[in-house]
Chain A
Amino acid sequence: GAGVSQSPSNKVTEKGKDVELRCDPISGHTALYWYRQSLGQGLEFLIYFQGNSAPDKSGLPSDRFSAERTGGSVSTLTIQRTQQEDSAVYLCASSLASGFTGELFFGEGSRLTVL
């Protein structure tokens, strides 16, 4: 499809394990965002990539969280030593504009459950 693709759609893991979540943005979109959505909550900003610039990591909640974007396209969000409070839906979004615009195109998310 032509939209933002995320995988896996669902991930159940045990506390203490590492997980990787993948995002394939829309082709040609230079901006890529990761957000987290806990049950019944709004979206919490995690990290932002724009082209070849250094990412804005200001929203990452702890050093267990990291993300990379290879070749300006696919991004991977890694959570190390997962905790139960990491359980949430992790949403990726991409945007075409180089300046900030609120018109982000979201994927359907990866639901993470930490047992």
Chain B
Amino acid sequence: GESVGLHLPTLSVQEGDNSIINCAYSNSASDYFIWYKQESGKGPQFIIDIRSNMDKRQGQRVTVLLNKTVKHLSLQIAATQPGDSAVYFCAENNAGNMLTFGGGTRLMVKP
């Protein structure tokens, strides 16, 4: 499941800083949103989800914010660590069995 993308947007942060990864979704009818993390050579891994009746949800070191007005989703990672380096995908679902994934953002953590 390697996502090697020469054209992926890249966010470079210093270890210990907070990271914010943004995602714009397309379907105003989507009611469920998920963030996935994909490390090199691996399949995506679920991080956190949020339903459209919420605007914020917190996990361990991660927070997802949802702004339905502008169809925007963000993932905040507190105290970013080298192990957080990966490609991050947002995904949306608007009923049915299909998740629609965004194009991904590469997070690089500098030691």
Closest chain-B Cβ to A111's Cβ sits at a distance in Å of: 7
Count residues of chain A with CB under 8 A from any CB of chain B: 31
Interface of B is mostly: loop
Please tell me the size bucket of the interface on B: 20 to 34
Given A43-B89, A104-B99, decide whether A37 and B3 contact each other with a Cβ distance below 8 A.
yes
Given A41-B5, A42-B89, A43-B89, decide whether A100 and B97 contact each other with a Cβ distance below 8 A.
yes
Q: Mark A97-115, 1 if CB is under 8 A from B, else 0.
A: 0001111111111010000
Check B43 against A106 for contact (C-beta < 8 Å).
Answer: yes
Q: Which of A4, A43, A108, A109 contacts B101 (CB 8 A)?
A: A43
**B1, B2, B49, B91 interface centre (most CB from chain A within 10 Å):** B1
Residue B42 interfacial (CB < 8 Å) = yes
Residue A26 interfacial (CB < 8 Å) = no
Q: Which of A39, A50, A102 contacts B99 (CB 8 A)?
A: A102
**Given the complex of chains A and B, what is the CA–CA distance between A35 and B46 in angstroms?**
15
- Which residues of chain A from 40 to 59 have any CB-CB distance to chain B below 8 Å in the complex? 40-45, 48, 50, 56, 58-59
**Chain A residues with Cβ under 8 A from B3's Cβ?**
37, 40-41, 89
Residue B108 interfacial (CB < 8 Å) = no
Check B2 against A111 for contact (C-beta < 8 Å).
Answer: yes
**Chain B residues with Cβ under 8 A from A107's Cβ?**
1, 43
- Which residues of chain B from 62 to 102 have any CB-CB distance to chain A below 8 Å in the complex? 89, 91, 93, 95-102
**Chain B residues with Cβ under 8 A from A89's Cβ?**
1-3
Which residue numbers of B lie inside 8 Å of A, CB to CB? Answer: 1-8, 32-34, 41-46, 49, 89, 91, 93, 95-104
Which residue numbers of A lie inside 8 Å of B, CB to CB? Answer: 4, 31, 33, 35, 37, 39-45, 48, 50, 56, 58-59, 89, 91, 93, 100-109, 111
